[in-house]
Amino acid sequence: MFWKFDLHSSSHIDTLLEREDVTLKELMDEEDVLQECKAQNRKLIEFLLKSECLEDLVSFIIEEPPQDMDEKIRYKYPNISCELLTSDVSQINDRLGEEESLLMKLYSFLLNESPLNPLLASFFSKVLSILISRKPEQIVEFLKRKHDFVDLIIKHIGTSAIMDLLLRLLTCIEPPQPRQEVLNWLNEERIIQRLVEIVHPSQDEDRHSNASQSLCEIIRLSRDQMLQVQNSSEPDPLLASLEKQEIIEQLLSNIFHKEKNESAIVSAIQILLTLLETRRQTFEGHIEVCPPGMSNSTYLVNKSVLEAIKARLSSFHELLLEPPKKSVIKTTWGVLDPPVGNTRLNVIRLISSLLQTNTSSVNQELIELNSIGVILDMFFKYTWNNFLHTQVEICIALILASPLESTENGTITDQDPPGDNLLLKHLFLKCQLIERILEAWEMNEKKQAEGGRRHGYMGHLTRIANCIVHSTDKGPNSTLVQQLIKELPEEVRERWETFCTSSLGETNKRNTVDLASSAAGGVTTCHIHSSSDDEIDFKETGFSQDSSLQQAFSDYQMQQMTSNFIDQFGFNDEKFADQDD
Contacts 24+ apart (CB under 8 A), 20-27: 22/47, 24/53, 24/56, 24/57, 25/77
Q: What is the pLDDT of residue 29?
A: 92
Residue 570, Ramachandran bin (φ over 0: left; ψ between -120 and 50: alpha; else beta): left
332 with 382, same domain: the answer is: no
Does residue 345 lie in a domain region? yes
* Domain closes at, from 461, 491, 511: 511
The mean pLDDT of 143-172, rounded to a whole number, is: 95
Closest-CA residue to 405 (of 439, 365, 348, 435): 365
pLDDT score of 237 more than 80: yes
Q: What is the pLDDT of residue 15?
A: 87
Q: What is the pLDDT of residue 405?
A: 56
The mean pLDDT of 540-555, rounded to a whole number, is: 43
112 with 260, same domain: the answer is: no
* Domain closes at, from 489, 511, 533: 511
pLDDT score of 576 more than 70: no
The mean pLDDT of 558-572, rounded to a whole number, is: 39
Does residue 519 lie in a domain region? no
Q: What is the pLDDT of residue 517?
A: 56
Q: What is the pLDDT of residue 224?
A: 86
Q: What is the pLDDT of residue 300?
A: 67
Confidence of residue 434 (pLDDT cuts 50, 70, 90): very high
This prediction's pTM? 0.81
pLDDT score of 416 more than 60: no
Domains of the chain: total: 3
Q: What is the pLDDT of residue 231?
A: 59
Q: List, in order, residues 6 or more apart from 315 with CB less than 8 Å away.
A: 252, 256
Which domain, by its residues, includes 260?
235-278+301-364
Closest-CA residue to 78 (of 63, 62, 65, 60): 60
Cα separation, 218 vs 203, whole angstroms: 21
Does residue 182 lie in a domain region? yes
The mean pLDDT of 293-308, rounded to a whole number, is: 65
3-class SS string, 285-302: CEEEECCCCCCCCCEEEE
337 with 394, same domain: the answer is: no
The mean pLDDT of 80-105, rounded to a whole number, is: 95
3-class SS string, 353-403: HHHHHCEHHHHHHHHHHCHHHHHHHHHHHCCCCHHHHHHHHHHHHHHHHCC
Does residue 69 lie in a domain region? yes
270 with 170, same domain: the answer is: no
Does residue 194 lie in a domain region? no
Tell me phi and psi for residue 471, to 5 degrees. -65, -35
59 burial (CB, 10 Å; 0-12 / 13-18 / 19+) is: middle
* 524 DSSP 8-state letter: -
Does residue 288 lie in a domain region? no
376 with 336, same domain: the answer is: no
Does residue 66 lie in a domain region? yes
Instruction: Report yes or no: 472 and 481 within 8 Å, Cβ to Cβ.
Output: yes
Confidence of residue 230 (pLDDT cuts 50, 70, 90): low
The mean pLDDT of 454-470, rounded to a whole number, is: 95
pLDDT above 70: percentage of residues in the chain: 78
114 with 251, same domain: the answer is: no
357 with 485, same domain: the answer is: no
* Domain closes at, from 457, 486, 511: 511
Q: List, in order, residues 6 or more apart from 357 with CB less than 8 Å away.
A: 276, 287, 289, 301, 306, 406
Q: List, in order, residues 6 or more apart from 117 with CB less than 8 Å away.
A: 64
398 with 273, same domain: the answer is: no
Does residue 128 lie in a domain region? yes
The mean pLDDT of 111-127, rounded to a whole number, is: 96
164 with 37, same domain: the answer is: yes
27 with 173, same domain: the answer is: yes
106 with 161, same domain: the answer is: yes
Cα separation, 444 vs 452, whole angstroms: 9
166 with 94, same domain: the answer is: yes
